[in-house]
Amino acid sequence: MYLVKAFQGKNHFWRYFVTLIIVFAATQIGAIPFTILLFIKALESGQMPDASNITDFAAFGIDPNLGLVLMVLPFLTGLIVLLFLVHGFHKRTITDTLTGRKRFDYFRFWFGVLTWMILWTIVFVIHFIIEPGNFSFNFDPSHFFLLILITILFIPFQTSFEEVLFRGYLMQGLAVLSKNRWIPVLVTSLVFGLLHAFNPEVKEYGFALTMPQYLLFGLFFGIITIMDDGLELALGVHAINNIYLSIFFTHDSSTLQTPALFEIQNLNPLVDLLEFVMVSVIFILIVSRRFKWGSWRMLVEKISGIDSE
């Protein structure tokens, strides 16, 4: 079982504390190139750009594709260091941090990718039919095709870092400390959501309207990880979600400011939240049937006490 694998290796509390500090330091090292570029742009303009939205690359005079690559670098360095420490410091295999199975299940990963992409494509097509005036077409071949390449190559590092850190390393670590499955799922979901509190969407639309979606996103990832006994589905869904949005949709307050194919003129966060809940429930119903998860009563039983034996 996935969480039980956390009992293997060295799991003293201080090791988790040290690992998180080192991983945080690694992300800051990865942010150095972007910081240097900002400093250069500040010297060129004679004043420091407005830092209220650090991902608004155009405001800093930075090419959006270059900005996207530099924004992902901290996640890449963090992921590399985290996996290295899991293997070398905790003496646990990387596979055991990714899945409860003997090997990573790529079929599950790609099934999650395709299912999530199809569901959201249906939602967006309905939006186009109902409110075509809310989308402006922004096709720029000089940026768009490079965006596709960069997004597919780099965004998975960002999403994989978050999933391995929260639904992998931390959720397994909390399972060891608490001997319970509810606590790891709820705590990692809460922390995951709160870490997005400084995103530009939160500033634009308010904490009460935007944070529930981040919290539910974390809860959704936690549930599918526990029920499917591994990170495969969560890794696939998180990656395609961010890739899909980066390539096709952007809006003024989007965290990922990319030269996407469409710009949304007016975003309704409440509708967005309801759509996310609907898509998440449908996704869970589909994958639970495909991978034979069982009933919701089994979910409650699965997220109850945990025994290292």
Q: Where exactly are the structural domains of the chain?
A: 3-302
Q: Can you list the alpha helix ranges (DSSP code H) found in 131-251?
A: 141-163, 171-178, 182-194, 200-205, 207-228, 232-248
Q: 58 or 222: whose pLDDT is higher?
A: 222
Burial of 204 (0-12, 13-18, 19+ CB in 10 A): middle
User: What CA–CA distance (Å, rounded) separates 172 from 169?
Assistant: 5
CB-CB neighbours of 135 under 10 Å: 17
Give residue 309's pLDDT: 46
Asked if the model's pLDDT at residue 157 lies above 90, the reply is yes
| Closest to 49 measured CA to CA, from 35, 63, 62, 59 | 59
Asked whether the CA dihedral 29, 77, 69, 254 is positive or negative, the reply is negative
Tell me the per-residue pLDDT of 101-148, one tens digit each, with 9 for 90 and over: 999 999 999 999 999 999 999 999 999 899 988 888 888 888 899 999
φ and ψ at 133, to 5 degrees? -70, -10
How far apart are alpha carbons 168 and 178 in whole angstroms?
A: 15
**In this predicted structure, which of 36-40, 49-53, 129-133, 255-259 has the lowest mean pLDDT?**
49-53
Instruction: Give the DSSP H/E element, type plus range, for residue 136.
Output: strand 135-137
pLDDT at position 308 over 80: no
At residue 102, what are phi and psi to the nearest 5 degrees? -70, -30
What is the spatial distance between Cα 99 and Cα 199, in angstroms, rounded to a whole number?
30
* Predicted local confidence at residue 177, as pLDDT: 85
DSSP annotation of 307 reads -
**pLDDT recorded at residue 207:** 83
Which of 52-61, 103-112, 270-279, 298-307 shows the lowest mean pLDDT across its residues? 298-307
pLDDT in tens, 76-114: 999 999 999 999 999 999 999 999 999 999 999 999 999
Element (H, E) at 275: helix 269-290
